[in-house]
Amino acid sequence: MPVSNRTLQNKVEPYWQSECGHATVYVGDCLDVMRQLEIDQFHAIITDPPYGLEFMDKDWDTPWKWGVAASHGHSDENPYLFQKWFYERAEQMGRIAKPGAHILTFGGTRMWHRMTVAIEDAG
């Protein structure tokens, strides 16, 4: 059952929701979407973010470079850029997840520990 993905009154609308209402898909930049969601509403969050391996020099695998961070060099030279980038997302995941919720996130072998530290630092 498709639903509009437009935002109304600074509240994001689901793109799709299951008939029982237990599964919801939102479309948009994950930070923008999560910032508009209410706190403590999810039992689990599953994500497969960019791994930060700069796969084939593709921009989608180095989103922290899209802005000011672009002048700071390759993630292998400064892996904290990836950690800082993921920290912002982990902070929002922690805000919208219920206490005791599960967060399952996939990561690459060279950078998963940076993602783990970002989640820990975000609480």
In whole angstroms, give the CA distance from residue 59 to residue 76.
Answer: 15
Q: Half-sphere exposure of 86 toward its Cβ, with a 13 Å CA cutoff?
A: 29
Structure tokens at 23: 């599964």
In whole angstroms, give the CA distance from residue 74 to residue 81.
Answer: 9
Question: Alpha carbon of 32 to those of 7, 35, 55, 88, 111: distances in Å?
Answer: 11, 5, 25, 11, 24
Helix (H) / strand (E) containing 40: none
pLDDT on residue 10: 60
51 touches 31 (CB < 8 A)? no
Question: Alpha carbon of 116 to those of 18, 83, 110: distances in Å?
Answer: 31, 9, 12
Bridge-based pairing state of the strands 11-12 and 16-17 = unpaired
pLDDT on residue 67: 56
Bridge-based pairing state of the strands 24-25 and 16-17 = antiparallel
pLDDT on residue 51: 86
pLDDT tens string, the chain, 123 residues long: the values are 344 444 334 678 899 999 998 888 889 889 999 999 999 999 999 999 988 887 777 777 777 776 544 444 444 556 788 899 999 999 999 999 999 999 999 998 888 999 999 999 998
pLDDT on residue 99: 96
